[in-house]
Amino acid sequence: MSALTGTALEQARAQAQNEVRELRQRKRVLDQDSIDVILKGARSHYAWTDKAVSKNTLHQLYDIVSNGATSMNCCPARFIFVTSKASKEKLARALKAKNIDKMMAAPVTAIIAHDLNFWQHLPFLFPHEDRRPLFEGKPEHIEKTAFLNGTLQGAYFMIAARALGLDVGAMSGYSNEILDQDFFADTSLKSTFLCNLGYADETALFQKLPRFAFDDVCSFI
């Protein structure tokens, strides 16, 4: 993909600006129930019904997530949907014992990973100018950029899943070393975190834990 120039660029920018204005006219803010579904009233789930998650729903999920903002549109996140019994048993090797049953019961467990070769795709993702020299030969900068933006995309993933009617349960209780060796050996991928997906059994929920008040963690300068 090459960068647009001249009249084509002006037309593309005008179209993008009009689309944003029209969207804001149609839906300036979310209603309270929608906010509750995606964040304020949402919960992390640990038990699951046997209702399956369709591949079509997972395609819809990625389509939403792919539009979330990342630095230089670098899009380093990769999503591996673990659904088969054999793959789940393989994944269980990396998990802490208390997380195995949660993962095995979930219809889908997503390995959210980040690709350390993301920067090689920048000519396609960010065609305005070649930003690869910012990363070439700089492994620490590559790792930091991939991890931060991949984690950001993981957050989009959880919110988008809830918006589609799915329930989520993120997990960090696993060995990155074992998982990466078992699933990503000889690749440029590194695991970021895991996220169970499905339709929850709410009987496993307990009361919502406290949150900080605005004045505890926010300030003006």
Averaged pLDDT score across all residues of the chain: 97
- Domain span including residue 86: 35-203
Q: Which helix (H) or strand (E) holds 96?
A: none
26 pLDDT higher than 80:
yes
Q: Which helix (H) or strand (E) holds 2?
A: none
In a domain, 15, yes or no: no
Amino acid (one-letter) located at 15: Q
Q: Check which CATH number belongs to the domain holding 57 and give it.
A: 3.40.109.10
56 pLDDT higher than 80:
yes
Mean pLDDT, range 32-47, rounded to an integer: 97
- Whether residue 136 contacts residue 33, with contact meaning beta carbons closer than 8 Å, is answered with no
DSSP 39: I
Cβ contacts of 53-62, under 8 Å, gap ≥ 24: 53/107, 53/108, 53/166, 53/197, 53/198, 53/199, 57/164, 57/166, 58/108, 60/164, 61/157, 61/160, 61/161, 61/164, 61/166
Per-residue pLDDT tens digits for 67-109: 999 999 999 999 999 999 999 999 999 999 999 999 999 999 9
Query: The sheet that has 189-198: what strands, in order across it?
Result: 77-82, 108-115, 189-198, 167-171
Q: How many structural domains does the chain have?
A: 1
**pLDDT recorded at residue 211:** 96
Per-residue pLDDT tens digits for 101-157: 999 999 999 999 999 999 999 999 999 899 999 999 999 999 999 999 999 999 999
In a domain, 93, yes or no: yes
Q: Dump the DSSP string for 104-171.
A: HHSSEEEEEEEETTGGGGHHHH-TTS--GGGTTT-HHHHHHHHHHHHHHHHHHHHHHHHHTT-EEEEE
In a domain, 67, yes or no: yes
Percentage, residues of the chain above pLDDT 70: 100
Write the CA distances from 109 to 5, 84, 195, integer angstroms: 43, 10, 6
In a domain, 50, yes or no: yes
In a domain, 18, yes or no: no
- Whether residue 64 contacts residue 163, with contact meaning beta carbons closer than 8 Å, is answered with yes
In a domain, 68, yes or no: yes
Q: How many separate helices (H) and strands (E) can be counted in the chain?
A: 9, 4
In a domain, 115, yes or no: yes
In a domain, 4, yes or no: no
Mean pLDDT, range 176-192, rounded to an integer: 98
Please give the model's pTM, rounded to 2 decimal places: 0.95
